[in-house]
């Protein structure tokens, strides 16, 4: 691999001698984690590839692009063979089902919009896998996430910092807000300073079979995108059908179940004769009502957060908040567990995460428990 130009990124730098060190690489079978394994090998460290099997092998063996399933496990093993490193597979299907899939279903039934990728990072990936890496005597655990870890920031008083990925189109910091300081000090993210095209180039230069493999889906265990269908399969006795009402409580129609709706949704309401487009403003699991209103009813002034994870040390300066994975961070302030926006924010949904930033640095974040509407119900 000496003839392949590797990135100097502060994590695994070509030419840095890590002989005598051991690196465990979390391998999903995709191009990103495969290149991370190659970067680790290039340092001279003993490198071990580890894959968590998160699906039933019989069901998943033919599924591609799902992450941690049958074909993906074979791809990870092929890459490890190519690199000449050991590869281990650990069955964590039960853990994944309990920590991610079951919670996904329960959150939808409770009228919230879940983010299973964060739950996966909090559980199987950054808890279970990190423990495995330590049990294997590794000096660090490396993953293919597009975020940057800045070591010894501010003199090292508070440990490493988590920063956004250098490529805005690939930045995954929103999904890693729950990473703890202890985890961050042990983790490595070698791809954080690279654009995705360069990662594929490195894979091709190394002759890795996954160089052109498509990226996995955002929600790997819902391959057809039918969230409601999965929830009904997991919770067949749950009946959340009910009324569609306006802000004043007037019944406008009926719906087939709360699981078909999310805050901010416009399509699928099938309400005729409305003077202006209606959007889902909130979901009420206790009454089974879908409350709708005009777009201005989606505006919120603040949100209450729960299970806040703070990576900011003693940071007290201005911050921005990102309330959806595809949203732009907006100015806000954190007052205890209350996130107050400088201007009305839209699309703030319970169950989603509010991730806090100071420029490129990730300060942490929390789960949105409830919101404060800018428009008082009529």
Cα maximum dimension of the chain: 72
The reply to whether 68 belongs to the active site is: no
Q: How far is CA 349 from CA 223, 303, 317, in A?
A: 24, 9, 26
* Residue 57 contacts residue 83 (beta carbons within 8 Å): no
Q: How far apart are CA 78 and CA 140, in angstroms?
A: 23
How many angstroms separate the CA atoms of 119 and 140, rounded?
A: 21
Question: Distance (Å, rounded) from C-alpha 11 to C-alpha 223?
Answer: 33
Of these residues, 67, 117, 140, 220, which one is catalytic?
Answer: 220
How far apart CA 346 and CA 31 sit, in angstroms, is: 35
* Catalytic (active site) residue 117: no
Question: Which letter, b or e, does each residue of 296-327 get, where b requires 16 or more Cβ atoms within 10 Å of its Cβ?
Answer: ebbbbbbbbbeebbebbeebeeebbbbbbbeb
User: What's the DSSP call for residue 213?
Assistant: P
Q: Which of 67, 68, 80, 120 is catalytic?
A: 120
Q: Helices 102-109 and 227-234 meet at what angle, rounded to 10?
A: 100
Distance between CA atoms of 42 and 19, rounded to whole angstroms? 10
What six digits make up the tokens of 358?
């100071």
Q: Is 278 exposed, middle or buried (0-12, 13-18, 19+ CB in 10 A)?
A: buried
Report in angstroms the alpha-carbon separations of 277 from 31, 251, 296, 298. 43, 16, 11, 12
CA 32/CA 48 separation, integer angstroms: 16
Residues marked as catalytic: 120, 220
């Amino acid at each position: 691999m000496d003839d392949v130009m590797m990135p100097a990124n502060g994590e695994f730098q070509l030419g840095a001698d890590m002989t005598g060190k051991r690196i465990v690489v979390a391998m999903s079978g995709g191009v990103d984690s495969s290149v991370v394994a190659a970067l680790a090998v290039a340092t001279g460290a003993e490198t071990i590839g580890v894959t968590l099997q998160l699906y039933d092998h019989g069901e998943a063996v033919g599924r591609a692009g799902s992450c941690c399933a049958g074909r993906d496990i074979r791809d990870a093993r092929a890459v490890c063979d190519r690199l000449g490193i050991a590869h281990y597979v650990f069955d964590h299907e039960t853990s994944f089902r309990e920590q991610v899939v079951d919670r996904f279903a329960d959150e939808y039934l409770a009228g919230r919009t879940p983010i299973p990728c964060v739950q996966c990072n909090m559980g199987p990936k950054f808890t279970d896998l990190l423990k495995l890496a330590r049990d294997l005597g590794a000096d660090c655990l490396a993953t293919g996430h597009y975020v940057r870890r800045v070591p010894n920031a501010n003199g090292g008083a508070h440990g490493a910092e988590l920063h956004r990925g250098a490529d805005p189109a690939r930045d995954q910091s929103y999904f890693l807000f729950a990473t703890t300081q202890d985890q961050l000090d042990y983790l490595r993210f070698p791809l954080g300073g690279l654009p995705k095209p360069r990662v594929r180039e490195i894979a091709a230069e190394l002759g890795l079979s996954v160089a052109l493999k498509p990226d996995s889906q955002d929600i790997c265990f819902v391959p057809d995108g039918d969230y409601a269908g999965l929830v009904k399969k997991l919770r067949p006795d749950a009946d959340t059908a009910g009324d569609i009402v306006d802000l004043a409580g007037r019944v406008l129609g009926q719906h087939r179940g709360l699981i078909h709706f999310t805050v901010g949704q416009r399509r699928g309401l099938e309400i005729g004769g409305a003077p202006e487009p209606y959007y889902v403003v909130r979901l009420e699991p206790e009454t089974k009502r879908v409350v709708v209103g005009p777009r201005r009813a989606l505006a919120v002034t603040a949100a209450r957060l729960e299970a806040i994870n703070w990576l900011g040390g003693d940071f007290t300066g201005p911050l921005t908040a990102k309330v959806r994975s595809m949203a732009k961070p907006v100015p806000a302030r954190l007052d205890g567990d209350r996130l107050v926006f400088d201007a009305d924010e839209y699309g703030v949904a319970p169950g989603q995460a509010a991730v806090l930033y100071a420029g490129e640095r990730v300060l942490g974040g929390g789960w949105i428990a409830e919101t404060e509407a800018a428009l008082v119900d009529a």
